[in-house]
């Protein structure tokens, strides 16, 4: 299921639950009659606060190191390919074929390394956001209490929100 559909499904279930629960007599004490919802943009917090910038800088160092490793391997492979092409005229056809197959295997290994590095970077990015949210959690709870908000969701999980419910700048002011 793509992200768009799962987001709408989750929001739809939340809305349906909020509408149906009073009719069923379920959770009348747990769900306020007029719940107040706030929105934060965690990507904004990540890119504009000191804590987010530090985390992003560390991520960028990791990304650049992995990219440099990949570029080095790619350049070596290109050089080997160019060298093999130059030697083609002097090599026996079966030797050339064998060297070319070895080069193709190295190319496939490079592609696998690329995919692996992409997965690692995605995991690193997810961990970075989770760590920032963990750091922000007490601030978010305090902000929700101060604003009388019952639920705060990330901007990425919304289709549209009235700017008046956006608490990002207030959160960012609290993040060091």
pLDDT digits (tens, 9 = 90+) for 121-162: 999 999 998 999 999 999 999 999 999 999 999 999 999 999
- For residues 134 and 131, what is the distance between their CA atoms, to the nearest angstrom? 5
Angle (CA) 138-139-140 rounded to 5° is 90
Would you state the pLDDT for residue 22?
55
Alpha helix stretches (DSSP H) within 31-92: 42-48, 50-87
Would you state the pLDDT for residue 93?
92
Topology at the third CATH level for domain 36-174: Protein Binding, DinI Protein; Chain A (3.30.910)
pLDDT digits (tens, 9 = 90+) for 63-81: 999 999 999 999 999 999 9
**pLDDT score of 109 more than 80:** yes
Give the global pTM. Answer: 0.66
Confidence of residue 32 (pLDDT cuts 50, 70, 90): confident
Element (H, E) at 151: strand 151-154
Please, are residues 63 and 121 in contact by the beta-carbon 8 Å criterion?
A: yes
Ranges of each domain in the chain: 1-33, 36-174
In the predicted model, what is the mean pLDDT of the chain?
Answer: 86
Tokens matching residue 53: 């910038």
């Amino acid at each position: 299921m793509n992200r768009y559909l799962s987001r709408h499904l989750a929001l739809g279930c939340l809305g349906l639950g909020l509408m149906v629960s009073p009719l069923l007599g379920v959770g009348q004490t747990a769900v306020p009659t007029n719940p107040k919802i706030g929105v934060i943009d965690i990507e904004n917090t990540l890119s504009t606060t000191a804590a987010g910038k530090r985390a992003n800088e560390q991520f960028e160092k990791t990304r650049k190191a992995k990219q440099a490793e990949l570029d080095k391997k790619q350049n070596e492979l290109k050089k080997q390919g160019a060298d093999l092409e130059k030697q083609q005229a002097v090599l026996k056809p079966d030797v050339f074929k064998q060297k070319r197959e070895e080069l193709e295997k190295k190319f496939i290994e490079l592609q696998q390394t690329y995919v692996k590095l992409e997965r690692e970077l995605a995991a690193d990015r997810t961990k970075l956001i989770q760590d920032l949210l963990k750091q922000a959690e007490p601030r978010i709870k305090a902000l929700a209490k101060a604003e009388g908000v019952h639920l705060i969701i990330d901007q990425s999980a919304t289709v549209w929100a009235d700017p008046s419910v956006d608490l990002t700048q207030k959160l960012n002011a609290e993040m060091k």
